[in-house]
Amino acid sequence: MKVIKKLGVIATVFLLLILSSPLFAQSGTDSGGGLESVIKIMIAVTVFLVAIIMWLVLVYSEKSETAEQSGFSKLMQLLNQRPPIEDEQKLLLDHDFDGIRELNNKIPPWFMAIFYGSIIWALVYMVDFHILGSGNVQEDEYAEEVQIAAMEREILNRSGSLVNEESVTRVDDVAALASGKDIFVKNCAACHGMGGEGLVGPNFTDEYWIHGGGIKNVFKIIKYGVPQKGMISWQAQLDPTQMQEVGSYILSLKGSNPPNQKGPEGKKWEESDDTESESGLLSDKGVGEIQEIILEDIDTDLAKMGEEVFVAKCSACHKINKRFVGPALIGITQRRSPEWIMNMILDPEKMVKENKIAQQLLAEYLAPMANQNLTKDEARSVLEYFRTQTN
Ligand code: HEC
Ligand code: HEC
């Protein structure tokens, strides 16, 4: 009876330890590290238990020579429940192999405690992670990390520290252009004219640029200036986002045809690889085995099959209507050519290596698009499904 009571104490302590760990985990986490701290606590508890047991074994082996029952040897006895040597006769099983005989020893309580403990742990884990879903399974955790990374990037982007002459893109939202105009009027109009028609500095409204057109060249000149020609470097006064905005504003002046224009200076700038324009995007077929796809009327059966493939193979990273790990895919067929979409599905690695749009997407989303090994027919069906998801 006494033994059972003691056993109960051990089991309870063990249980409490296990149950308390998810609580620790919740309070002690930073963003999304729940699983990590649960694992840490599990490891800590295990190490702690192993340490105690080893220590006890040490102490026990020292003490066992002295006959007197110390507290430690009592505890050892409690953990092991080994029967006294005199009782061995009772435990002997009655079989005998070549003189080797077997004792019907009980499984020691410490072992049972760990055994039941791990079953309970598994239950708690299963309920937490797979039924309630309050813990993150690996896949969610990945998605969450990617989202956090995207958010951090967004913050960096806003602060402008990621915008440089290599990465700068032309912005065209109204707020950014308005802010660009503001900066222009305050800082640049004195030399470049209120409407960008050119004064001391060159005209921004024609197609001629001394140092090359396009946002990257313009940004570079704004940032570093051409001091020997009277154009100062602005990086001390303007932050990168502001330089991006004013650069985009300048580019938006093209063709505005203000009065008193200064004559052309420099070379005519051809925006040959202008991937920013819609038609440029739609004519890009990507790289891969799909060269030509001719679209006919939407085949609803095929689209239905495509939807199934999409749900099974893509929805872990893509939602139709909102950004997830990858981009929202609504209206994708209005943004990209069918060949590009198929190539992206069938061989994203190659696309990211060789296609400019795919590279820009990767830079924006930070995570690579996974190759889900679809067959050509499956990819075609997904394309058909995308055709039904337009805005
Ligand atoms: C003190 C006069 C002055 C001010 C102020 C000034 N610029 Fe300039 N800018 C110039 C001159 C002069 C050049 C021509 C440099 C050359 O010939 O290489 C120039 C050239 C440029 C070019 C390159 C044009 C080309 O054809 O390649 C850009 C872009 C530009 N400026 C943007 C700006 C912006 C943006 C501002 C305000 C933030 C600004 N500038 C303020 C005098 C000025
Ligand atoms: C592991 C996550 C993941 C899976 C699974 C995944 N994708 Fe993607 N996908 C992405 C990411 C991230 C991007 C954007 C960044 C890039 O291109 O690397 C992307 C980009 C795309 C694009 C280009 C979107 C655009 O705006 O141009 C298409 C189309 C696409 N995925 C389709 C699919 C299809 C169809 C499937 C299923 C067969 C799929 N993806 C499975 C993560 C994924």
- Condensed to tens digits (0 to 9), the pLDDT of residues 140-176 reads 888 889 999 988 887 876 666 678 887 788 888 888 8
Q: Which uninterrupted H or E stretch holds 362?
A: helix 356-365
What confidence score (pLDDT) does residue 223 get?
93
Higher pLDDT, residue 271 or 228: 228
Average pLDDT of the segment spanning 254-283:
74
Amino acid identity, position 308: E
What single-letter amino acid sits at 166? Answer: E
Q: What is the pLDDT of residue 191?
A: 94
Ligand 2 centroid to 52 CA: how many Å? 51
Residue 304: its pLDDT value, please?
93
In the chain, the amino acid numbered 244 is Q
- When pLDDT is cut at 50, 70 and 90, the band that residue 15 belongs to is low
Instruction: Determine the distance separating the centroid of ligand 2 and the alpha carbon of 349, expressed in angstroms.
Output: 11
Q: Kindly state if the Cβ of 181 falls inside 6 Å of ligand 2.
A: no
pLDDT at 27: 41
pLDDT value, residue 194: 93
Nearest-CA residue for atom 25 of ligand 2:
327
pLDDT digits (tens, 9 = 90+) for 56-86: 887 776 655 555 566 777 778 888 887 788 8
pLDDT at 73: 78
The mean of the pLDDT values for the chain is: 83
The protein residue with its alpha carbon nearest to ligand 2, atom 29, reads: 341
Distance, CA 219 to ligand 1 centroid (Å)? 11
Q: What band does 17 get if pLDDT is binned at 50, 70 and 90?
A: low
pLDDT digit string, tens, across residues 25-36: 444 344 445 667
Tell me, using a 6 A CB cutoff, whether residue 282 lines ligand 2. Answer: no
Contacts made by residues 190-196, CB under 8 angstroms, sequence distance 24+: 191/230, 191/231, 193/258, 193/260, 193/262, 194/258, 195/253, 195/256, 195/258, 195/259, 196/250, 196/253, 196/256, 196/258
190 CB near ligand 1 (under 6 Å):
yes
**In the predicted structure, residue 119 carries a pLDDT above the cut 90:** yes
Instruction: For residue 20, give Cα distances in angstroms to 16, 17, 23, 27, 141.
Output: 6, 5, 5, 11, 22
Q: What is d(CA 226, CA 234) in angstroms, rounded to the nearest whole number?
A: 10
Residue 303 has pLDDT above 60, yes or no: yes
Ligand nearest to the CA of 203: 1
pLDDT grade, residue 231 (50/70/90)?
very high
Residue 189 has a pLDDT of 94
What is the percentage of the chain residues whose pLDDT exceeds 70? 84
**Domains of the chain and any CATH numbers:** 2-131 (no CATH), 174-274 (1.10.760.10), 278-387 (1.10.760.10)
pLDDT in tens, 335-369: 889 999 999 999 999 998 888 888 888 888 888 88
With a 6 A CB cut-off, is 264 part of the ligand 1 pocket?
A: no
**Does the beta carbon of 216 sit less than 6 angstroms from any atom of ligand 1?**
no
The confidence band for 221, taking pLDDT boundaries of 50, 70 and 90, is very high
Pairing of strands 208-209, 267-268: antiparallel
Q: pLDDT band at 92, cuts 50/70/90?
A: confident
Read off the pLDDT band of 324 (50, 70, 90). Answer: confident
State the amino acid at position 236 in one-letter form. A
pLDDT at 63: 59
Instruction: Decide if pLDDT at 122 tops 50.
Output: yes
Most confident of 34-43, 81-90, 124-133, 313-322: 313-322
Residue of the CA atom closest to atom 5 of ligand 1: 188
* CA 331–ligand 2 middle distance (angstroms): 14
Percentage of the chain modeled with pLDDT above 90: 32
Higher pLDDT, 136 or 278: 136
- Tell me the pLDDT tens digit for each residue of 177-191: 999 999 999 999 999
